[in-house]
Chains A and B, each alone.
Chain A
């Protein structure tokens, strides 16, 4: 399959930051280094027209290194094109620069990601818990967080 047009442009502008490009079911996922994420997102928005951030979330790959991925599903309203950016985050330094300056909508998405996945965002204007109570301990969507909640018998059901 031919490579997505945005990939070449991104590689041209930011050589050495593109770690991996995956095509799956017609969707392109680009993994980039986390140091440049704000510049890359601004470039995607201003120069390539990906003006809409659909979704932002974290994924916990427990047992792998790097442990976390922050995923940005972005969309270009003019060309109707979707693209996905991913940023690896090490467990030892669970923080990424905020993109809420690029897309205002990232504000709540990043708060949710911090709340449920425990990935913190540098320079975020208002990094508080959003879905869980303010005094909650732990981050429920992490893979090592028990399904039944803290202080209860572990889930004995389905074995993968």
Chain B
């Protein structure tokens, strides 16, 4: 007589392939997952509550710590939201916009490098991890040059940038971008034709386009299900409408499709960065809105107006009109949105972050239920989650 019962297994929160502190409670029938329940919140820091007690300028460093693999994108989403709230979107200088796009795309490369490294490592292809982290190191060095920090950059400001690019930075970027397509070929050479890799990800983590929209998937995870939607093209921000790039879509609906989409996105990012370098002209990096944007340091120490504006912005903070706005940006992981409610005071009355990873993780149970437990690791990798953003 045979006797069967399901077994409950805890995966995480200290499991290396859960990409942070994600806990999954898996109900297993042999090796088949019958039920998966994600538990999150271990990294909750109350970013939204904190932001209600800070001025609009003081919130920027908090946003670095959401998706800490793509801090510039979070900064960008937030400053664009604040600029929209203050109504100064059309006053951002051209140079600031181009630099923002360039760094946003570098950040996309950085984030996707971590994705390919960890995704491959989880599945057992260790070499890619070492190569991808080597390239990521270059981007971290560039971060350090412009902002002094390797991860939490805090570089964008409401109205522009905190400082101009250092000397020689453009050459660094150009050298890096010239090398990068070759590196992507290397990753593809290590993975795409690899039989083990194919077996582990082809037909795994399937989700149809319709189901993906219903559950709220965004970014490459959605485009891997054949839905042609990219905010950079469809609701352009920061001058994205002026760049020539292609949005890659694959209707394979599985982990393999999402793998291909992300690799193509990395190549597109290189193209966009090259266009940025060609567009980059000397010019101001901060909007001329002295009541809202921090004045350049030169003015603070040399002019009385600059000093007063600086003092007022730091001690009191600029006050927007009463209103509410939503600004979404295409992060490497999907749509990150900032919903800001202003009551006319210098602090946001309410800031709601729409995190991409949080919503993407919600799709995990339906992607793994009925599949092998080993596929759970592949699906976590393909959803490309960051717990800092999920838990906020």
User: Residues on A close to B: CB < 8 A?
Assistant: 22, 24-25, 27, 29, 51-55, 57, 59-60, 71, 73, 77, 80, 82, 84, 103-105, 107-109, 116, 129-133, 140-141, 145, 147, 155, 157-158, 160
Q: Which residues of chain A are near B328, meaning CB under 8 Å?
A: 54, 82
- Chain B 314-348, CB-CB to A under 8 Å as 1, else 0, gives 00000000011110100000010101010001110
Complex CA distance for A16 and B54, rounded to whole angstroms: 39
Distance of A27 Cα from B335 Cα, bound (Å):
18
Once the chains are docked, how many angstroms separate the CA of A133 from the CA of B44? 10
CA distance A55 to B354 in the complex (A): 6
In the bound complex, how far is the Cα of B234 from the Cα of A132, in angstroms?
Answer: 35
Known contacts A130-B41, A131-B41, A158-B347; is-contact A73 B354 (Cβ 8 Å): yes
Counting CB contacts under 8 A, is B49 at the interface?
A: yes
CA distance in complex: A76, B53 (Å): 34
Beyond contacts A105-B214, A141-B48: 9 other A-B pairs, Cβ-Cβ < 8 A, are A22-B323, A24-B325, A25-B85, A52-B216, A73-B339, A73-B354, A82-B328, A108-B362, A155-B53
Is the contact region of chain B dominated by helix, strand, or loop, or is it mixed?
A: mixed
Docked-complex contact A105 and B326, CB < 8 angstroms: no
Residues 352-392 (chain B) with a chain A CB within 8 angstroms: 352, 354, 358-359, 362, 391-392
Which of these, A27, A109, A116, contacts B326 with CB under 8 Å?
A27
Q: Are B350 and A160 in contact (CB under 8 A)?
A: no
Contact at A77–B339, with CB atoms within 8 Å? no
A104-B215, A108-B358 given; A73·B323 CB < 8 A: no
A25 touches B41 (CB 8 A): no
**B44 lies within 8 A of A132 (CB):** yes
CA distance A125 to B286 in the complex (A): 49
A158 to B54, CA, bound (A): 8
- Whether the pair A160, B345 counts as a contact (CB closer than 8 A) is yes
Query: Judging by beta carbons under 8 Å apart, are B326 and A55 in contact?
Result: yes
- 1/0 per residue B200-218: CB within 8 Å of A? 0000000000010111100
B215–A105 touching, CB < 8 Å: yes
B215 contacts across to A, CB distance below 8 A: 104-105
A147 touches B53 (CB 8 A): yes
Closest to B233 in A: A80
A82 to B347 Cα, complex, angstroms: 25
Partner of A24, one of B49, B213, B323: B323
Give the chain A neighbours of B227 by CB distance below 8 A: 77
- Tell me the complex Cα distance, A101–B46, Å: 29
Q: Are A57 and B325 in contact (CB under 8 A)?
A: no
Q: Let me know if A73 and B337 touch, CB within 8 A.
A: yes
Task: Tell me how far the C-beta of B353 lies from the nearest C-beta in chain A, rounded to whole angstroms.
Answer: 9
Ordered by A's residue number, 11 sampled pairs between the chains whose C-beta atoms are within 8 Å are: A22-B323, A25-B84, A27-B324, A55-B339, A60-B350, A77-B227, A80-B235, A82-B326, A103-B214, A131-B392, A145-B49
Evaluate contact between B323 and A77: CB separation under 8 angstroms: no
What residues of chain A lie closer than 8 Å to B323, measured between beta carbons?
Answer: 22, 24-25
Contact A59 B350 (CB under 8 A): yes
Output the least CB separation between A123 and chain B (Å): 18
Closest to B390 in A: A131
Please give, as numbers and ranges, the residues of chain B lying within 8 Å of A71 by CB-CB distance.
339, 352
A140 CA to B85 CA in the complex, in Å? 25
Q: Which residues of B (80-104) have their CB < 8 Å from a CB of A?
A: 84-85, 87
A53 to B341, CA, bound (A): 19
Instruction: Kindly provide the distance from the CB of B303 to the nearest chain A CB, expressed in whole angstroms.
Output: 27
Q: Chain B's nearest CB lies how many Å from the CB of A149?
A: 9
Residue of B whose beta carbon sits closest to that of A52: B213
* Complex alpha-carbon distance, A125 and B51, angstroms: 31
Chain B residues, Cβ within 8 Å of A54: 216, 326, 328, 335, 337, 354
Residues of A within 8 A of B358 (CB): 108
Give the docked Cα–Cα distance between A53 and B349 (Å). 23
Whole-angstrom CA separation of A22 from B323 in the bound complex: 9
Query: Does the CB pair B216–A105 fall under 8 Å?
Result: yes
> Does B229 have its Cβ within 8 Å of any Cβ on chain A?
yes
Contacts of B84 in A (CB 8 A): 25
Name the residue in A55, A132, A147 with the highest tally of chain B Cβ atoms < 10 Å from its Cβ: A55
Closest 7 CB pairs of A and B: A105-B216, A131-B41, A55-B354, A24-B323, A57-B352, A104-B214, A80-B234
